[in-house]
Amino acid sequence: MAIILKNSNYNGEVLEQILVLASTGNELVEKGLIRIEPDVTDKFSIPRIKTGKMLRKRVEQPTDSDGKGDFEYSEVTLTPQEFMAFTTFNPKSFEKIWRKWQPKGNLVFSELPPEAQNVLLAEMAKTIKFELGDHMINGVFGDSDTELFNGIVTRIMSNNSRIVVDPTGLTTMLGKLKAVKAAIPLAMRSNPGLRIVMSTADFDQYDEELTQQPNKGADYTTMNVPSYKGIKIESLANWPSGLIIATICGMDNTTNMWGATSLVDDSNVIQIDKLTNSGERYFFKMLMKMDTNVAFGEECIVLDARSGGGVIDSIEVTPEDLIFPAEGSDQAVVVTATSAYTVGAAPVGFTAVKNEWGLMITAAANAGETAKSGSITLSLTGTAETAVINLSQPAPGA
């Protein structure tokens, strides 16, 4: 990766390490719960294959009609969103930190050796790392400076295929975990990557409940093993209290939680330069991209005991723009919605059929002399949230 350091003799290798730390150094990554795809400049598709039951009685001369079970292929997309870190500072304010390197005359940032600059930049990296860790879990993409990209909780809670556990009447962590375990599909229970994810505060409550169990839990000076019925528990500081999720975790392709990160522009990644030519203040600027998603919503078992459920009304479609050939074809659209949704009327020559993962859009052959275009609007029931699928088809011979 290219590093731009204007008016600075800062060591590039050390700065690259800081960039990696700030980009991927957070609890989800450090605990091996999510796979990060680096250098995703535009989009990354997570392939998903489902099959139906295939076994049947033996047929001596099988034909196509004897076939049983289908391969169903679909994709979930990671689309990293752009954001940046930007701050200004006066190097003179940090004279006491690098006093032994104090140059004669005016203090100029570019005159400081790498060891001195590392002090300042390392502190910046710590702050960025902490903020990114929270966004990767709780982030919501929007227009404000606090809405950088969709975090993993937002993705899970907006996936209408998730398995929801009713928290009504469950007042203890033992009761909640029992309900979560009962809802985990049997095929998932033997998966070595199965984890129960909760907040640190919720695990502390669980630990205390175990300690209070006579002759069963650890004593008051010892922490109980972070697991429930053999399923490992991962407690995260930034995870919302009251939300418990069981899913497949890991850093390889078998994980259910994915992330993508990239540099916005290799020629302009990190800059340290004077804010104005005549002034003493400098600026620090880092450009980044990031996104998260889950491969299978049905592999997320969710118990949400937060006030109001913590669900953010949303509906998303992937992809948003479909281009059909003039002879017509079928194209799949993955729909992620927090609740039921309705599908608006399709333009003439197009049809939309709902299925378990979204919509199948079909375009008939264009027999006219002009191109066709239009859109289909999806509306989240009971809310003002909508998603639009844009359709286009060229004229024959175009």
- Tokens describing residue 347: 């333009």
pLDDT tens digits, 171-207: 899 999 999 999 999 989 989 999 999 999 999 999 9
Q: What is the pLDDT of residue 99?
A: 64
pTM reported for the whole predicted model:
0.67
Residue 97 pLDDT: 62
Alpha helices by DSSP H, the chain = 12-24, 27-30, 114-138, 152-157, 173-183, 186-189, 200-212
Residue 218: what pLDDT? 62
Rounded to whole angstroms, the Cα distance separating 152 from 160 reads 14
Give the domains, in start order, of the chain with CATH numbers: 12-49+73-152+258-294 (3.30.2400), 154-251+296-310 (3.30.2320), 315-393 (2.60.40.10)
Quick one: pLDDT at residue 266? 43
pLDDT value of position 2: 34
d(CA 109, CA 116): 10
Check residue 267 and give its pLDDT: 44
Query: Rounded to whole angstroms, how far apart are CA atoms 146 and 330?
Result: 38
pLDDT confidence of residue 13: 47
Residue ranges of the chain with per-residue pLDDT less than 50? 1-14, 22, 105, 107, 266-268
Measured CA to CA, the distance from residue 196 to residue 81 in angstroms comes to: 28
Asked if 138 and 130 count as a contact pair (C-beta separation under 8 A), the reply is no
Q: What angle do CA 381, 154, 224 make, to 5 degrees?
A: 130
Angle between helices 114-138 and 12-24 (to 10 degrees): 20
What are the backbone angles phi and psi of residue 213, rounded to the nearest 5°?
-70, 125
Q: According to the model, what pLDDT value does residue 103 have?
A: 55
Would you state the pLDDT for residue 6? 41
Q: What angle do CA 69, 71, 74 make, to 5 degrees?
A: 145
Sign of CA dihedral 238, 239, 240, 242: negative
Rounded Cα distance between 293 and 32, Å, is: 16
Q: What is the pLDDT of residue 10?
A: 44
Q: Rounded to whole angstroms, how far apart are CA atoms 186 and 194?
A: 12
